Structures are given as C-alpha cells and as structure tokens.
Amino acid sequence: MAKNEAKMPLPKLDELFTTEEERQTANLEKVIDIPITEIEDFPNHPFRVIVNDELKEMASSIEKDGVREPALVRSIGNGKYQMISGHRRKKASEIANKNTMPCIVRDLTDEQAAIIMVDSNLQQRQKILFSERAFAYKMKLEAMTHQGKRNDLTSDQVGEKLTSVEKLSANSPDSKSQIQRYIRLTELIKPLLDMVDNEEIAFSPAVELSFLTKQEQKWLMNSIECNVATPSLSQAQEMKRLSQSGNLDEDKIEELLSQQKPNQVEKLKLDFKNLTPKMPRGMPKEKYADHIYKALDFYNRYLEKKRSMEAR
C-alpha cells in the first residue's frame, strides 16, 4: 500500500452489531425517571422558588397524578444532573414526597443551558419580580455574548455588547433600552432591590439609584428607614447627578429625602436606633410597624378596661 494512500476508518464496535434504525433511536431524547437527590439547581438561578398556594396546589397534583410535563436537565458527570427547566416541579415533587421525577436529558453547553433556562422561566411564570427579570436578562446576555452571537464583526467590546442586547430584545417583550434598564437593577444593594420587588420604590427611580456607589446606597437605605420615605424620580436623578460629580454624601441624601413631595401624605418619623432595643430580639425592621400597631391596640384595650373599672 502506498504511504500517501488514505486509510479506511475502522467501524466502531456498536456499528458492527446495531442497525441504522437502532442507532438513530438511541440518539433520540428520552424521558427517564431521575432521583431528585441527584438533580442540582442551576447555578445562580435568578428565579425564586417560593412555597406559596400555587406551588402547594402543584404538589397536590403531583402527589395524585405525578409530574405531567418532564423537566429538562443536563448531565454534569458522576451520576449527577443539573436542572435547566423545572425547579418548581422539583420543589413540588419534594413536598409531595416523590423520590424521582421524569426528566429529559439534553447535551448542552453552559451558554445553551443558561439561555434555555431563562427563556423557559420567562415564558412559563405568570408573575416575575423586577429582580428576577433583571438577573435573568443579565445572565442570558452574558451567555449570548460568550457564544459570540452578534450582528456584526466588530471586535469592540462595547459594540459587541450592544449587538447582543439587540439580539436579546428581538426575542423579548422588552425593548433594547428597557432590557438595559432592567440589568441596571442588578447594581442595587439587596435591601433597595427588595424594596423595588415589594413596589415600595418605583422602577424608574430605582434605575437612577443604581448608579450610586454601594456606600451611597447604604447611606440612602439608612435615610429611608429614618425618614420613612422613598425617593421620587427627580430626587433619584439629583442623587445620581451629585454622585457622578463626587458631591453626594450622607447629609445631602438626608436633605433630599426629607423634602416634602407633591401630594405626599404626612408620615410619622421614628428613630430606629432608639426603637430597635425596645423590639423583640431578632425582629426584622419591616415587622416593626405591625408590632407597634399591635402594642398600641393592646395598650388602648388596657386603658379602656382601666377606665371602666375606675367608673364603677
């Protein structure tokens, strides 16, 4: 045989003993039951799995009829799997005391897995928090950027990022600018972001506040607690302007936040430093108001009872 003659590739062992139809069938995705303990959550999963009435109803349904729609997972080796789509079904199965759940195992890259995970949750969930959508868009954008999905061949980092956002917005109900605004929310410290989720701070002011440094945001959070007030859009814009010029400090935040807003209902201001020692140990600050109302109600009933006894 001549040295430059191409060698015929040897057939694989399974090709010798299986038909073409059998090999094609083997490559099809199948639904298999996987032990729940072998399925890990997606890293930094941006969507919360809350045990609410909806999830409890799902658990009851699973307990009776099982999981109707298989979850989507990928193998991560050593007999372990990573959840892509189905985190709530997994939690509901655990509540229903199921040991396994039906899953489709798919071979996915990190980027493919992240994109599918975000898309499936955005499509399936009825209510999505601001923070969930923000971190989901950020995760999908990073995955698309890593995949090299862009509309042009520019090597400029900013240009690449913009074209990725355009690609993302093409398959999203939100525009490119709105997606960028959502992603800005990921720069907020957790207490402020929680207030956005609880609709205590509006979306537009929150976007402006995201440009403040982490220290400035902590000052703002302290001022919010002391003044029992949240910044308006104009106040947030002014804080952003002062921050970017290097002129924002704790006193300036306090001055801005204490300004009376149009149509603002007068609120009682409390000093949290003096109030905290009088509260039950470990009670979160968001529970203070409810505790005070109950204490006042109890005290008023005591006064009424005392006046009634004195009148006899």
pLDDT tens-digit readout, 35-57: 999 999 999 999 999 898 989 99
265 shares a domain with 211 = yes
pLDDT per residue as tens, the chain (312 positions)? 454 555 555 555 555 555 555 444 445 678 999 999 999 999 999 999 989 898 999 999 999 999 999 999 999 998 999 999 999 999 999 999 999 999 999 999 999 999 999 999 888 887 899 999 999 999 999 998 887 643 343 334 444 555 678 888 887 888 889 999 999 999 999 999 999 999 999 999 999 999 999 999 999 999 998 877 899 999 999 999 999 999 999 999 999 988 866 544 445 556 666 777 788 877 776 677 778 878 887 888 777 777 777 776
Look at residue 63 and tell me if it is in a domain. Answer: yes
120 shares a domain with 38 = yes
Look at residue 4 and tell me if it is in a domain. Answer: no
- Give the span between the Cα atoms of 118 and 122, in whole angstroms: 6
- Give the span between the Cα atoms of 209 and 235, in whole angstroms: 9
Question: Which residue bears the tokens 């109900």?
Answer: 173
Distances (CA, A) of 288 to 191, 200, 230, 270: 16, 16, 17, 11
Strand-pairing partners, residue 151, are none
- Domain span at 159: 129-184
Look at residue 163 and tell me if it is in a domain. Answer: yes
- Give the span between the Cα atoms of 265 and 161, in whole angstroms: 43
145 shares a domain with 208 = no
- Give the span between the Cα atoms of 77 and 208, in whole angstroms: 44
Q: Got the DSSP string for 162-208? A: HHHHHHHHHTSSS-HHHHHHHHHGGGS-HHHHHHHHTTSS-HHHHHH
CB atoms within 10 A of CB 274: 8
Strand-pairing partners, residue 236, are none
277-292 per-position pLDDT tens digit: 788 877 776 677 778 8
Look at residue 232 and tell me if it is in a domain. Answer: yes
Domain count, the chain: 3
Q: Which DSSP letter does residue 103 get? A: E
- Give the span between the Cα atoms of 150 and 167, in whole angstroms: 7
Tokens linked to 312 = 């006899």
- Give the span between the Cα atoms of 141 and 111, in whole angstroms: 10
